[in-house]
């Protein structure tokens, strides 16, 4: 099986080299790029947005690590600052004692009394030398720690700015993703409306049925206008077929005398 795979792989490599010569790798690389672009163009936008969201979510561990580092630095800085304040107070106290002992020795006295104890000038001088040496070491150590404190504060400021930049970038990306989602939905809505306007199936059939029904109603109304043009009128055509002496025939048949005004009219007619 491995032998077959090696043979196929060799054929894939050798055939382009044989056909294209030195330009084989360029053709293969261009073909690969074309395939990647074709595949990428077929990826649904919803899937691509989901992938981008995952990339943004992957920033959260880095943000949390940065926040953890900042928290540790803040605690260390606070502890170092408190320690320096305490040591500075002790150095101020030792400095005052050193100056007092120096003043005492410069007074020229042979003995000095401290805390109910009497010390010779030589003992005071030796103690002053020892205190002074320790004071210088403590002061130099405090100076170094102040430099360390300053460096840590600078690093803390840099990390805080870095965290702010990461948070701003994440928020900006989230806004852009939201805008992209809205744009995709807007395009999809426009596409659905466009597809609906060109739909010639049920929607088109319904529209055609409405047009046909309206035409039928128009024809029926027009027919009613034509057929009913002379309706509801006195049928004069039928009146021409009625005898002129219809009234006299009716009265003669019923032996009913004619009214006085009709008799006058009849006598006038006979004249």
Q: For the segment 153-178, what is each residue's pLDDT rounded down to a tens digit?
A: 999 999 999 999 999 999 999 999 99
Highest mean pLDDT (candidates 185-194, 230-239, 249-258): 185-194
Q: Are 166 and 66 in contact (CB under 8 A)?
A: yes
End-to-end CA distance of the chain: 142
Question: Which residues face 111 on adjacent strands?
Answer: 120
Other C-beta atoms within 10 Å of 10: how many? 10
User: What does the alpha-carbon distance between residue 161 and residue 154 come to, in Å, rounded to a whole number?
Assistant: 11
Average of pLDDT values for 136-162?
96
Say yes or no to pLDDT of 30 above 70.
no
Say yes or no to pLDDT of 91 above 80.
yes
Identify the residue with better confidence: 146 or 47. Answer: 146
Determine the Cα angle at 229 with ends 225 and 234, to 5°: 150
User: What confidence tier does 221 reach under pLDDT thresholds 50, 70, 90?
Assistant: confident
Average of pLDDT values for 53-70?
93
Q: Are 180 and 48 in contact (CB under 8 A)?
A: no
Statement: the pTM of the whole predicted model exceeds 0.85: no
The single-letter DSSP state of residue 201 is S
User: What does the alpha-carbon distance between residue 148 and residue 72 come to, in Å, rounded to a whole number?
Assistant: 15
């Amino acid at each position: 099986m491995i032998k077959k795979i090696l043979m196929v792989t060799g054929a894939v490599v050798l055939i382009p080299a044989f056909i294209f010569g030195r330009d084989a790798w360029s053709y293969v690389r261009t073909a690969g790029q074309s395939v990647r672009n074709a595949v990428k163009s077929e990826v649904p936008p919803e899937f691509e947005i989901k992938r981008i969201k995952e990339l943004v979510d992957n920033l959260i561990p880095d943000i949390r690590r940065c926040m953890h580092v900042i928290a540790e630095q803040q605690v260390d800085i606070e502890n170092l600052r408190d320690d320096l304040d305490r040591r500075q107070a002790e150095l101020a106290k030792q400095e005052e004692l050193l100056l007092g002992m120096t003043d005492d020795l410069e007074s020229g006295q042979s003995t000095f009394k401290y805390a109910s104890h009497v010390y010779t000038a030589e003992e005071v001088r030796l103690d002053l030398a020892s205190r002074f040496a320790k004071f210088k070491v403590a002061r130099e150590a405090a100076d170094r720690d102040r430099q360390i404190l300053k460096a840590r504060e600078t690093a803390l400021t840099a990390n805080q700015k870095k965290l702010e930049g990461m948070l701003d970038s994440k928020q900006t990306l989230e806004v852009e993703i939201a805008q992209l989602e809205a744009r995709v939905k807007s395009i999809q809505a426009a596409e659905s409306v466009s597809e609906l306007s060109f739909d010639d199936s049920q929607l088109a059939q319904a529209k055609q049925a409405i047009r046909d029904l309206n035409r039928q109603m128009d024809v029926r109304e027009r027919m009613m206008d034509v057929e009913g043009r002379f309706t509801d009128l006195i049928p004069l055509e039928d009146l021409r077929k009625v005898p002129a002496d219809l009234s006299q025939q009716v009265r003669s048949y019923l032996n009913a005398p004619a009214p006085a005004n009709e008799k006058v009219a009849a006598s006038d007619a006979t004249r």
